[in-house]
Amino acid sequence: MATPKVWIDGHVVPSPQAVVSVHDRAFRSGEGVFETLRAYGDHPFRADAHVQRAVAGAAAIGIDLTATTLHRGLDELLAANAEIFAGRDSVLRLTASAGEIDPDSVFPGTPASGARGEPTIVVTSHRFQDDPRLTREGVRAVTLPMAREMPEVKAVSYLVAVAARQMAAARGVDEALLTSPDGMLLEAASANLAVVRNGVLVTPPVESGVLAGVTRKVMIEVAGRAGLGVDERPVHRGELAAADEAVLTATTREIIPLVEVDGEPVGDGRPGAASAALLAAYHAEVARERAAAGR
């Protein structure tokens, strides 16, 4: 398959020509935000929510982004790569940094000489790779006493998530669940978390220090269609022992069953009816949004 093109600062270019300065602030000090979107065919699902989160997160660290520019980048790259993906699902990654820095300036730095202090914005894409095993078998996880820095910002400095996933892999499991010092469940390294008990979907509130996940929000919206109530409240690690099921939510993975934590099964240790119903309701919402957009 041909290499997908890249959108960078307003221009679609071949991937080898998409160059970011070594003095870019995202590279030097992690000053940037990113969003990962799944495009179902030519439709980027919940693009508005992803863009608004990027704008808000960037503002929190002093980067001025406009929703119009980000939507333009997403739409133009989708169009540019349409022939390559030929209607298949793809994954879009939108990255925005604080721009190029003067390397001689005092920390945290000032814009490079002649620069206007504008952000660097890059959109890339690649073909979506499905893994049916995640839905069929579920995933296993370990708990780790770690937490995301500034959870309201989906920052390019993703060190906590990367380290947690590496620790999980070293223990032979798929995912890591981050916990507070007092044993409260927060989120997975790269996903939000919910447990199901007695027909109620329980998920830690955003205020507890978790990323406001776009897929998490959709799951909450469609839970009623899956026959589940919703309770957003703190969830202690010990509650997993009494849970009927648990799920993780993420843009590319959608809603997947969590079947084991720290070597102990969640529920009967297999994907259950609630996770299947949630996934079906999620897919129905994707289809509804695509139809409304004429895609």
Structure confidence by residue, pLDDT tens digits, 191-211: 999 999 999 999 999 999 999
- The answer to whether 6 and 252 are in contact (CB under 8 A) is no
SS3 content of the chain, % helix, strand, coil (to 5): 35, 30, 35
- Domain 132-290, CATH class in plain words: alpha beta
Mean pLDDT of the region 164-184: 97
Largest CA distance in the chain: 62
Cα(219)–Cα(216) distance, integer angstroms: 5
Reported as type and span, the H/E element at residue 140 is: strand 139-144
Cα(73)–Cα(229) distance, integer angstroms: 38
- The answer to whether 266 and 259 are in contact (CB under 8 A) is yes
Mean pLDDT of the region 268-289: 98
Q: CA Rg, the chain, in Å?
A: 20
Provide the residue type at 257 as one letter.
Answer: P
- The answer to whether 286 and 279 are in contact (CB under 8 A) is no
Residue 102: predicted pLDDT? 86
Q: What is the DSSP letter of 121?
A: E
The CATH number of 6-127, from 1.10.1750.10, 3.30.470.10, 3.40.50.620, 3.40.190.10, is 3.30.470.10
* Statement: residue 266 has pLDDT above 70: yes
Domain ranges of the chain: 6-127, 132-290
* Statement: residue 76 has pLDDT above 80: yes
Q: What is the DSSP letter of 110?
A: -
How confident is residue 113, by pLDDT bands cut at 50, 70 and 90? low
Residue 1: predicted pLDDT? 65
Structure confidence by residue, pLDDT tens digits, 116-138: 678 999 999 999 999 999 999 99
Cross-strand bridge partners of residue 96 = 33, 121
CA distance to 32, 126, 224, per residue, from 196 (Å): 35, 33, 13
**pTM (2 d.p.):** 0.95
Mean pLDDT of the chain: 95
Mean pLDDT of the region 68-82: 97
Question: Higher-confidence residue: 282 or 1?
Answer: 282
